[in-house]
Chain A
Amino acid sequence: MLYAILCYNAEDVVMSWSQEEDDAVMSRLSVVHDRLERENKLGPSLRLMATTAATTLHKAKDLVLDGPYAETKEQLLGFYIVDIKDLDEGLAIARELGQANPGGAYELRPVRLFLPGAEIPGTERA
Chain B
Amino acid sequence: MTDLAWIDAAITAARPQAVGALLRYFRDLDIAEEAFQDACLRALRTWPGNGPPRDPAAWLIMVGRNAAIDGVRKRSRTQALPDDEAAMSDLDDVETPLAERLDGADYRDDVLRLMFICCHPDLPQTQQIALALRIVSGLTVRQIARAFLVGESAMEQRITRAKARIGEAGVAFETPGPVERAERLAAVAAMVYLIFNEGYSASGPEREDRAPLAAEAIRLGRLLLRLYQTEPEIMGLVALMLLQHSRTPARFDAEGGIVLMDDQDRALWNRAMIAEGLALIDKAMRHRRTGPYLIQAAIAALHARAATPAATDWRQIDALYATLEQLTPSPVITLNRAVAVSKADGPEAALEMIAPLERRLSGYFNYFGVKGALLLQLERKAEAREAFDRAIALANTAAEAAHIRQHLDRLMADAAAARVN
Contacts and interface: CB of A to CB of B under 8 A. Distances in A.
A66 B229 contact: yes
Interface string A47-83: 0011111010000000011110000000000000000
A87 B279 contact: yes
B1 interface: yes
A91 B157 CA distance: 53
A110 B235 CA distance: 15
A15 interface: yes
Nearest to A109: B279
A64 B223 CA distance: 22
B283 A15 contact: no
Contacts of B283: 53, 55, 66, 87
Interface string A1-31: 0000000001111111111010011000000
A67 B230 contact: yes
A52 B229 contact: yes
A97 to B, nearest CB: 19
B276 A50 contact: yes
B279 A49 contact: yes
Contact of A12 (B226, B235, B276, B282): B226
Contacts of B6: 13
Contacts of B276: 49-50, 53, 110, 112
A86 interface: yes
Interface in B1-27: 1, 5-6, 9-10, 12-14
Contact of A52 (B13, B215, B225, B272): B225
B222 A52 contact: yes
A27 B12 CA distance: 23
Contacts of B384: none
B286 A17 contact: no
Nearest to B215: A19
A10 B1 contact: no
Nearest to A51: B226
A16 B5 contact: no
Contact of A10 (B13, B222, B272): B13
Interface residues of B, number: 27
Q: How large is the interface on A (under 10, 10 to 19, 20 to 34, 35 or more residues)?
A: 20 to 34
Given A13-B10, A49-B275, A50-B276, A25 B1 contact: yes
Interface in B170-224: 215, 219, 222-223
Given A65-B230, A87-B283, A52 B238 contact: yes
B229 A112 contact: no
Given A16-B219, A66-B229, A110 B275 contact: yes
Contacts of A65: 229-230
Interface in B252-303: 272, 275-276, 279-280, 282-283, 286
A66 B286 CA distance: 10
Which secondary structure characterizes the binding site on chain A? mixed
B271 to A, nearest CB: 10
B47 to A, nearest CB: 13
A52 B223 CA distance: 9
Contacts of A24: 1
A10 B282 contact: no
A12 B1 contact: no
Nearest to B137: A16
B1 A21 contact: yes
Nearest to A13: B13
Contact of B286 (A13, A87, A113): A87
B229 A17 contact: no
A79 B229 CA distance: 23
B302 to A, nearest CB: 15
Given A12-B13, A12-B226, A65-B230, A53 B279 contact: yes
Contacts of A66: 229-230, 235, 283
A50 B222 contact: yes
A21 B222 CA distance: 18
Interface in B365-418: none
A21 B9 contact: yes
Nearest to B226: A52
B43 to A, nearest CB: 13
Contacts of B56: 10, 13
Contact of A15 (B13, B14, B286): B13
A65 B283 CA distance: 10
Given A18-B215, A21-B1, A112-B275, 13 more contacts: A13-B6, A13-B9, A13-B10, A13-B56, A15-B223, A17-B9, A19-B215, A50-B222, A52-B226, A52-B229, A52-B235, A53-B280, A110-B279
25 contacts: A10-B56, A12-B14, A12-B223, A13-B56, A15-B13, A15-B222, A16-B219, A19-B215, A21-B5, A24-B1, A25-B1, A49-B275, A49-B279, A50-B276, A52-B229, A53-B280, A53-B283, A65-B229, A65-B230, A66-B283, A86-B282, A87-B279, A87-B283, A112-B272, A113-B272
Please provide the 7 A-B residue pairs with the shortest distance between their CB atoms, ordered closest to farther. A67-B229, A12-B13, A16-B13, A87-B282, A110-B279, A52-B225, A13-B13
